[in-house]
Structure 1
Amino acid sequence: MIENNKAVVRRFNQEVIGQGNVDSFNALMDENFINRSAPAGMDNGPQGMIWFFNEALRPAIPDLKVIIHDQVAEGDMVTTRKTISGKQTGQLLGVPATGQTISIEVIDMVRIKDGRYVEHWGITTLPELLATLAKA
């Protein structure tokens, strides 16, 4: 079960975040999914998650890549340390395009049930990156 859960998270990172594949998102996302780390005012369900990846990140970073550095799993939980990077050629959450290659460091925990995401918690360097880009 643990290796299968890690494979689900790897697939989500590669196909959903890395490639923007909505069919994979629908296959891997439970309809009752809750993003426990969603910013205040943002939809914390499946629609908020796909919006963030395909409407906020992908247009700003069309060459987006995800590199998984580490994964640790226990029971139904998978923790992943990863980097999301690429060239910011579009507006990113209100910050105009810079043309810079940017990196977002992420540590997230996902609870998997029946091969699907049911809960997510995450820590990311995105707020610090946005503040730095806004000053540039």
Structure 2
Amino acid sequence: MSDTTMSEAATVVRRFYDTLSTGDLTVVDEVLASGWEAVPALSADGPEGWKATVAYLRAALSDLELVIEDVVVDGDRVAVSSTCRGVHTGELLGVAGTGRQVEFSAIDVHRLEHGRIVWSRHLEDHFGLAHQIGLTFTPTS
């Protein structure tokens, strides 16, 4: 794994997630490469995109907490299973705050180079989250 050990890789990725619970964005520039790519893409590229996402989620979900369930390191890849919890107090997915406690899961795979995350693939339970804040879906024919 280039110049990063498995333990160091897991630590870097854990610090990436800490920003959601703490709101401390100073860590972002330490753990993300300047050309970090998120898939699916965020509203902005690189670390600024992650900072904007953290700010958005922390504004939408008070008492936001991210719990890492599992971390698996394989070479330059780190896979993470996580659960986010918070109170829906601000706009989220186009829905004004409901005051409801929400919880949703995510799976991410990160690729590291030289001790920083250069690429992340994110899959989140948007359907479950949408249902918790009152969105409904009607099948179309």
Name the TM-score class by shorter chain: 0.7 to 0.9
User: Do the aligned partners of 2:66 and 2:84 also contact (CA within 8 Å) in 1?
Assistant: yes
How many residue pairs get matched? 132
Structure 1 Cα separation of the partners of residues 48 and 116 of structure 2? 15
Give the alignment's TM-score, normalised by structure 1.
0.88
Q: Which residue of 1 aligns with 2:16?
A: 12
Give the alignment's TM-score, normalised by structure 2.
0.85
RMSD of aligned alpha carbons: 1.7
User: Do the aligned partners of 1:73 and 1:79 also contact (CA within 8 Å) in 2?
Assistant: yes
Task: Give the superposition deviation at 1:133.
Answer: 1.8
Any gaps of 5 or more consecutive residues in structure 1? none
Q: Which residue of 2 aligns with 1:85?
A: 85
Q: Which residue of 1 aligns with 2:118?
A: 118
Report SS of the residue matched to 1:135.
Answer: coil
Q: Which residue of 1 aligns with 2:47?
A: 46
What one-letter code is carried by the residue in structure 2 that aligns with 1:120?
S
Structure 1 Cα separation of the partners of residues 130 and 41 of structure 2? 16
User: Do the aligned partners of 2:88 and 2:133 also contact (CA within 8 Å) in 1?
Assistant: no
Identical aligned residues as a percent: 29
Taking the TM superposition and a 5 Å limit, the aligned residue runs for 1:1-136 are: 1-14=5-18, 16-38=19-41, 42-54=43-55, 56-135=56-135
Any gaps of 5 or more consecutive residues in structure 2? 137-141
